[in-house]
Amino acid sequence: MKWWMMITFHIVTVILAGWTFATFYEVAQQLAEVIRLQPDHWEVTINGVPCMLFLLYAVVISFVLTRMKRQMGVSLKAILLLPPEFYETDEREQKITTAACRAAYLSMYIAIPFLVVLLFIYPFVETIIPAYPIFIVLSLSVVQILSYGFVWRKKYVV
């Protein structure tokens, strides 16, 4: 899999997951309001678009990745339990994966304090973006994906 496809695949996954989680957060807020007020008649609405898109995306990507890896001779157990990045074929790829994982791990030491500072503005944007903490947490995944992908590309291409 090309490096830019890998990064794009993961970032789209995080974006769709964030949209879906934000939708469920809105539903949880509606349910909390129903429980708090205890009206005689109540209703909760959910936006089905992000849920259906995420489900469709997950099914398509799972099918494509499973088919690709089965053609490469990878066992079904490895396909189900390992991320696509961990299919090393030789020692060089293992070293590249090790360096990229290390970079992704170290990026957390920079990203987490920055994201905690961004959480301090939540009270000011709570009415505008109620799911702001969800987006902050998922942005940590984006930082890790980008650092992993760029280090992997740098080591693999050179």
Per-residue pLDDT of the chain (158 residues; tens, 9 = 90+): 677 888 898 899 999 999 999 999 999 999 999 999 999 999 999 999 999 999 999 999 888 888 887 887 777 777 777 776 676 778 888 898 889 999 999 999 999 999 999 999 999 999 999 999 999 999 999 999 999 999 988 887 76
With left for phi above 0 and alpha for psi between -120 and 50, is residue 47 left, alpha or beta? Answer: beta
pTM of the predicted model as reported, rounded to 2 decimal places: 0.82
Which of 52, 57, 45 has its CA nearest to residue 8? 57
